[in-house]
Structure 1
Amino acid sequence: MDGDPDEGMLSWDESVFRNEHVFEIDYVPETFKHRESQTQSLTYALRPAVRGSRPLNVMVRGPPGTGKTTAIQKLFDEVGAQTGDIRTIRVNCQVNSTRYSVFSRLFEGTFDYEPPSSGISFKKLFGQIAEKLVEQDRVLVVALDDVNYLFYENEASDTLYSLLRAHEEYPGAKIGVVVVSSDPTLEVIDELDSRVQSVFRPEDVYFPVYDQPEIVDILDERVRRGFNDGVISRETLEYVAELTAESGDLRVGIDLLRRAGLTAEMRASRVVEREDVENAYEKSKYVSLSQSLSGLSDTERALIEVIATNDGEQAGAVYDAFREETDLGYTRYSEIVNKLDQLGLIEADYAEIDGRGRSRSLTLAYEKEAVLDRLE
């Protein structure tokens, strides 16, 4: 009926979404735009594996939210669909940040079940993986996603050394490595031991930040697949892209679309308005913070909380408060401080202290409330 006040309103069983999963961070899009040259470089590196040879190693670099994981996942899916002679395994190093846990994931990917939780040495774990590859005459391609976390835990060199030297201890083992770093300050090659540098000569594939027209194009594809027709206007979409470009992280835009849609539904509206985007942005802009915090251990999260309540204090004073909660020594405390600094969660700046020389002051890199809210 013309003029019906409820015409633009959702009923209780309706949604603005056609497929909400399209806006999940781990969704792999059917069409992958504006990364053609990077995809070609990765394909080139893996091509020898299709012929049964060891592939070229690759170093993939770029800020968060620039398509690195998606590119690798799509390539691995394509390889898996073409041949059964190549085993591709992506390891999330944010979750698996030690050599043993990385190889536990490789064991699981090789045998399709998890290794025993205890009682098996690294040497035996590694040996079973390598022997299985030789027995099946399969090539293994390992993607160490967010490899920067292995560096934060001083586990990168040992992990890469084991993978790159596998063929020496187990003749016939063919393993290629793709290392993926989201830390623009990390010089991967320079930080590796000389014994690893001598054998690790990777192809370098860089993923730059998307520019605004590219962001509009990518988000428009998500809108068409994820929302019902007419839910978001072009003007609103371009506003979302503008906010995304400011952050430099495509994940912000994807999360922002989903939250703006949910905000519109809360109003029972059939369309997403600019105000919905503005309200949703207060949470979406912290996507990177949430991702970083989710990978921290209980001890590391405890230190974040201590720094939040002692923001701007000298490292020694923060340690005293931290030790009261955890009983950990200063060496481990210093290691965690360095990791949190490398992750961009805190700022550890050196300053001259009267009569005491140089000392670090520790401050949060984000608003205190935003950090504490996401620690709960």
Structure 2
Amino acid sequence: MTHSPLLRSDETLFRDPEVFEFTFLPEQIHYRDAQVRELAFLLQPALRGGSAGSAVIRGPPGTGKTTTVHRIFAEVTETTKKLVPVYVNCRHDRTALAVFGCIFEQAFGYAPPSRHLDGIKRGIAARLRDEDAALVVCLDDANELIPAGTYNTLLYQILRLYERWDVRKPGVFAVASDLGLNLYAEADESVRSVFHPTEVNFPPYTKAEIRGILADRIRQGLYPGVVSKSLLDRIAGIAAGEQDIRVGIDLVRLTVLRAEKDGRRRVAPADVTAAAQAVRSPALRARVAGLSEGERALLYRIAELSVVGADMIGGAVFEEVQDYLPVGRTTYHEHLNGLANAGIVDLVPGAGRGREVRLRYDPGEVLAVCKPPDRR
């Protein structure tokens, strides 16, 4: 059957558009076998009548932490009632009442009838006793609980649920994308006495791994021939530069939508260029939003220096920023490492002259996103 070169209004390039949603849960988690084994190992004691272990799950954004937990929890729910896995998004639920309400709702399938914390806990404990089940709670973005002032309270109340309610000791998977934060160290003594987590690290995906994941999504979600191998390589390279698989998934979705809107059956290079701008700018804004005032000021000056083609070796940059950001070398290097950890600059070892500071983004984009601090 031959196809017209143009797409009809009732045709689509998407076989399954849900494959490109961030909430999509793939059947197989690629390139995370070691992390899956570690987390599954922590759940095994609960399947034999004991308690689940705890973990601190660390890695930059877009490295598969949440997807991996969801996949493991989905498989547990499908295969056994001996373990009650609960996922909590701490960006949305930060108070004890909200978190325990979330635990109740996922354990029972409906919202708690009581708005009193003790009543909710009593209901959760009854469910666990009736099923002779153990509880494991994933606190995703657990770092959000620290400024909210509820991190220690929630860990204490979840982990010590067994003391009052005669249930097995729950496990907690605490997830954080802030690599500079030690969630175990943030716990106070009363929590650390019952919180003994295994640290499970999720490194950034390589370009080859990102390409493999995107190729799998394209096979599932698009009709054949929509995205060429060369454009897939380009998209994978952009996502690898961002160190975020979500950028790649969103890029595929947006490029295909552009082609579809124009009635074309294949993605063109111009689609990738336009979509990359739409995806990268919000990603940059999100990264800049997490910087300290000093880091933001340094980033702005680095962008200015990049525009004029200045010497970008770390020592030379330090001298150039003194009139603009008068800090000592220790603070300067702390700020510089903060920019590197945020994924905005790369610090490339030089040939005897120290590290070269390279922006991952167009300096014009950085200047547009960063408001210049007051000069004095």
TM-score normalised by the chain length of structure 2 = 0.75
Partner of 1:348: 293
* Paired letter, 1:133: L
Partner of 2:145: 150
> Counterpart of 1:40 in 2: which secondary structure?
helix
* Paired letter, 1:34: Y
| Cα deviations by residue, 1:69-125 (Å, 9 ceiling, x for unpaired) | 111111111111211222111111111122221111011112221124xx7332332
Q: Is the 8 A contact 1:130 1:173 kept in 2?
A: no
Q: Is the 8 A contact 2:81 2:131 kept in 1?
A: no
Of the three residues 11, 32, 39, the one matched with 1:42 is 39
Partner of 2:338: none
Residue segments in structure 1 that go unaligned for 5+ positions in a row: 293-340, 352-364, 372-376
Partner of 1:279: 274
Q: Distance in 2 between matches of 1:370 and 1:29?
A: 34
> Counterpart of 1:178 in 2: which secondary structure?
strand
Q: Structure 1 residue 52: deviation in Å?
A: 1.9
**Matching of residue 136 in structure 1 with residue 131 in structure 2:** yes
- Taking a change above 3 Å as real, the CA distance of residues 141 and 286 of structure 1, as seen in their structure-2 partners, is farther
Of the three residues 83, 106, 109, the one matched with 1:109 is 106
Q: Structure 1 residue 370: deviation in Å?
A: 6.9
Partner of 2:214: 219
Partner of 1:257: 252
Q: Distance in 2 between matches of 1:135 and 1:29?
A: 32
Partner of 2:13: 16
Q: Structure 1 residue 368: deviation in Å?
A: 9.2
Aligned positions of 1:151-166 closer than 5 A: 151-166=146-161
Partner of 1:26: 23
Q: Structure 1 residue 128: deviation in Å?
A: 2.4
* Paired letter, 1:194: E
* Paired letter, 2:112: P
| Cα deviations by residue, 1:296-318 (Å, 9 ceiling, x for unpaired) | xxxxxxxxxxxxxxxxxxxxxxx
Aligned positions of 1:72-221 closer than 5 A: 72-116=69-113, 120-221=115-216
Identity across matched positions, percent: 37
Q: Structure 1 residue 369: deviation in Å?
A: 7.5
Partner of 2:361: none
* Paired letter, 2:63: T
| Cα deviations by residue, 1:159-210 (Å, 9 ceiling, x for unpaired) | 0000111111122344111111111121111111121122211111100000
Aligned length in residues: 305
- Taking a change above 3 Å as real, the CA distance of residues 183 and 170 of structure 1, as seen in their structure-2 partners, is same
Q: Is the 8 A contact 1:143 1:180 kept in 2?
A: yes
Q: Is the 8 A contact 2:161 2:167 kept in 1?
A: no
| Cα deviations by residue, 1:118-145 (Å, 9 ceiling, x for unpaired) | x733233223222331233111111111
Residue segments in structure 2 that go unaligned for 5+ positions in a row: 298-343, 345-364, 371-376
- Taking a change above 3 Å as real, the CA distance of residues 286 and 77 of structure 1, as seen in their structure-2 partners, is farther
- Taking a change above 3 Å as real, the CA distance of residues 150 and 244 of structure 1, as seen in their structure-2 partners, is same
Q: Distance in 1 between matches of 2:283 and 2:53?
A: 31
Q: Distance in 2 between matches of 1:347 and 1:59?
A: 25
Q: Distance in 2 between matches of 1:54 and 1:9?
A: 59
* Paired letter, 1:85: K
- Taking a change above 3 Å as real, the CA distance of residues 185 and 49 of structure 1, as seen in their structure-2 partners, is same
Q: Is the 8 A contact 2:54 2:198 kept in 1?
A: yes
Q: Distance in 1 between matches of 2:293 and 2:29?
A: 38
* Paired letter, 2:53: L
> Counterpart of 1:149 in 2: which secondary structure?
helix
Partner of 1:325: none
> Counterpart of 2:267 in 1: which secondary structure?
coil
Q: Structure 1 residue 7: deviation in Å?
A: 3.6
| Cα deviations by residue, 1:252-274 (Å, 9 ceiling, x for unpaired) | 00011000100111211100111
Q: Structure 1 residue 287: deviation in Å?
A: 5.6
Partner of 1:242: 237
Partner of 1:329: none
- Taking a change above 3 Å as real, the CA distance of residues 370 and 21 of structure 1, as seen in their structure-2 partners, is farther
